Structure 1
Amino acid sequence: MTAVLLLVLPAGGVALGHFIGVDSVAVLLRTPIGGACALAAASLQLAGLLWVRRIAVARPPRDRHQRDLPLAAELLGAVLRVGVPVDHGVLAVARALPLGERLTRVGRALRLGAAPAEAWRHLADLDGAQRLITAAIRSAGSGAALAATLRRIAGDLRAAEADRAEARARRAAVLLVLPLGLCFLPAFVLAGLAPVVIAVVGQLSQ
């Protein structure tokens, strides 16, 4: 939406010229100086759009497993609260999420009698999973205790993700000031204001 608004700034300048009685389009297309302004404005617009696009895609995409971690913790907590054994609960949740491949390894390891620390290590490389792993190890003998802890962890993970999203949005807003000041506003001046000045100067010189 921001890029679209910035893109129409020069068109707004042309409309402003028509409002005060200047044929900005004719100046841009039929005079050498106007043509140079139009070319420069189009180049700046293109550069600005590419710059904005680069800012938008600069952040690396989050791993889908990382995104599913809060939901996995919440679902597992819900399953355990009704009395399902931990290994069965993990495998049940695994069938519902993209994170399932890792959870399946955890559930199978627990079912085969692996130590909790060994079984839960399959989630160790996910950001924020360490609290979940620590809680699972400490509550290995009590699914009910783990369920209560998982609910709190899920809330904390969601809050942390919200904070990261807000920080990314603030950073993007700051970065957008650069293409606005260096590309879009100069394009507005060249395509919107310069034709008015050129037309006025031409009339005065006659």
Structure 2
Amino acid sequence: MGAFAAGWALVGGVAGCAVGVAGAYGVRRWQDRPRPASAEDSEAAARLPLAAELLAACLSAGAGPREAAEAVGRSVGGPVGERLRRTAAELALGGDPAEAWARFGGVPGARRLARCLERAAVSGAPAAIPVSRLAAGLRADRARAAAIRAQRAQVLITAPVGLCFLPAFLAVGVAPVVIGLAGRLL
């Protein structure tokens, strides 16, 4: 409403209403944009592939999901390590594996890993191979996300470079030629 009123007040009339509507639409789109991930979420996303690989190593060495979660939680640290330690403590106290692993699945990107470890805890099925596949998938997802961010940065840097070099090119390359031609013609 404020953007609409500002457009109407600054420009006035029908054109002001149009500018106000465009401004209000732009403000609304800006407010509805996706928010960047919090620092805790980005740290969790960074540590999750490592935690999954360590869990796979512990599981292939013969540890159960609770023991693996406890060992990896102590070594990884951060939000992922804290959630793994809490999950292991809850399981050690006799908590329901489905609920405990579902809480670990609340870590961004850990839902599939939590379901796999829950199945292993409930059924006793070996989870080393599925967890190692998930770890490889998490590493690949992280690499893809980094490549996308790098490509986006390449595109975003063209505007400042263009804004810096175009005036310099005009001032150094085009302006002297135009001034020289104008001097000869006059």
TM tier relative to shorter chain: 0.5 to 0.7
Displacement of 1:141 in angstroms is 4.5
Task: Answer yes or no: is 1:163 the counterpart of 2:144.
Answer: yes
| Distance (whole Å) between structure 2 residues aligned to residue 165 and residue 158 of structure 1 | 11
- Structure 2 letter corresponding to 1:87: R
- Structure 2 letter corresponding to 1:200: G
Q: How does 1:80-91 map to 2 (within 5 A)?
A: 80-91=59-70
Whether the aligned pair in 2 keeps the contact of 1:76 and 1:150 (CA below 8 Å) is: yes
Structure 1 residues without counterparts, runs of 5 or longer: 1-57
Instruction: Find the counterpart in structure 2 of residue 151 from structure 1.
Output: 132
Whether the aligned pair in 1 keeps the contact of 2:53 and 2:135 (CA below 8 Å) is: yes
| CA 143–187 in structure 1, closer or farther in 2 if over 3 Å, else same | farther
Displacement of 1:59 in angstroms is 5.8
Task: Answer yes or no: is 1:110 the counterpart of 2:110.
Answer: no
Q: Deviations over 1:78-119 (max 9, x none)?
A: 112112232222111111112211111011011111111111
Instruction: Find the counterpart in structure 2 of residue 173 from structure 1.
Output: 154
| CA 151–87 in structure 1, closer or farther in 2 if over 3 Å, else same | same
Q: Which has the higher contact order (CA 8 A, sep 6+)?
A: 1
Aligned with 1:94 (options 67, 70, 73): 73
Whether the aligned pair in 1 keeps the contact of 2:70 and 2:84 (CA below 8 Å) is: yes
Task: Answer yes or no: is 1:120 the counterpart of 2:101.
Answer: yes
| CA 118–59 in structure 1, closer or farther in 2 if over 3 Å, else same | closer
Q: How does 1:1-206 map to 2 (within 5 A)?
A: 60=37, 63-97=42-76, 98=78, 99-141=80-122, 145-181=126-162, 183-193=163-173, 196-197=176-177, 200=180, 204=184
Displacement of 1:76 in angstroms is 1.0
Q: Which moved more, 1:98-107 or 1:82-91?
A: 82-91
Following superposition, which runs of at least 4 residues in structure 1 exceed 3 angstroms of deviation? 58-62, 141-144, 194-206
In the superposition, the TM-score normalised over structure 2's length comes to: 0.67
- Structure 2 letter corresponding to 1:171: R
| Distance (whole Å) between structure 1 residues aligned to residue 81 and residue 114 of structure 2 | 16
Whether the aligned pair in 2 keeps the contact of 1:73 and 1:154 (CA below 8 Å) is: yes
Instruction: Find the counterpart in structure 2 of residue 31 from structure 1.
Output: none
| Distance (whole Å) between structure 1 residues aligned to residue 90 and residue 36 of structure 2 | 35
Whether the aligned pair in 2 keeps the contact of 1:86 and 1:143 (CA below 8 Å) is: no
| Distance (whole Å) between structure 2 residues aligned to residue 174 and residue 139 of structure 1 | 45
Q: Which moved more, 1:138-147 or 1:122-131?
A: 138-147
